[in-house]
Homo-oligomer: A and B are copies of this chain.
Amino acid sequence: MNIHFYVTLSRIKTIMAKLQKSIDKRNALIKATIALVNNNGFHATPMSKIAKMANVSPATIYLYFENKQDLVNKTYIEVKEKFTAHAFNHYKADMPVAAGFKLIWNSIADFKFNNCEEAIFLAQCDNTPMVDEPSRQKGIQHFQTLLELWERGKEEGIIKPMSNYLLYAYTIIPLSFLIISQRRGAIQLTKDHVEEAYNAAWNSIKL
């Protein structure tokens, strides 16, 4: 059975424009949420402020999200997905372990460096009960690729036979602290710092 749609080109164009506008609004809400939660914390960011920053009526938020918790959950998941996509962007599963790790690590550092607000938001979510458990679980899944790389590294005798939690703790986690410290004005991160950080990470897990 074939279903035929008769649609003019101009019709498609207006539909696309509308969709885009909707996406823009949603993105504005998510961006506002990140900025306000970073600066004031979840407990001190009312929906009214989020709405104002996104140039939208408070009521409009509820056309895009069920409620405040849902807004934060979805923000977390979206940012985490963006982060993960960036982390594994150029990685191929058949790369040598050391090169693969270096590539992924640098992609992550790059993301956190250039998307500092997003990175800080994630750190906040990962260290508090701000997002609900299902959302957190969903955010974690995406790291499968890194775990597989590490398993391969252990089999090949390149990486220490440590728990993946330890590997994560000593390679990825420190970056969050550095980014937060930078945002608080405590340190100004340079290329050198990033290289030192990479060496520290690698030294802590290489066999």
Binding site for B on A (CB under 8 A): 38-44, 123-124, 126-130, 160, 162-163, 165-166, 168-170, 173-178, 180-181, 186-187, 193, 196-197, 200-201, 203-205
Contacts and interface: CB of A to CB of B under 8 A. Distances in A.
A203 to B, nearest CB: 5
Contact of A123 (B127, B168, B174, B187): B127
Number of copies: 2
Contacts of A163: 187, 193, 196
A117 B205 CA distance: 28
A135 to B, nearest CB: 13
17 contacts: A41-B128, A41-B130, A42-B43, A43-B44, A126-B127, A160-B200, A163-B193, A165-B177, A165-B186, A165-B187, A166-B174, A168-B177, A169-B175, A169-B181, A170-B174, A203-B204, A204-B204
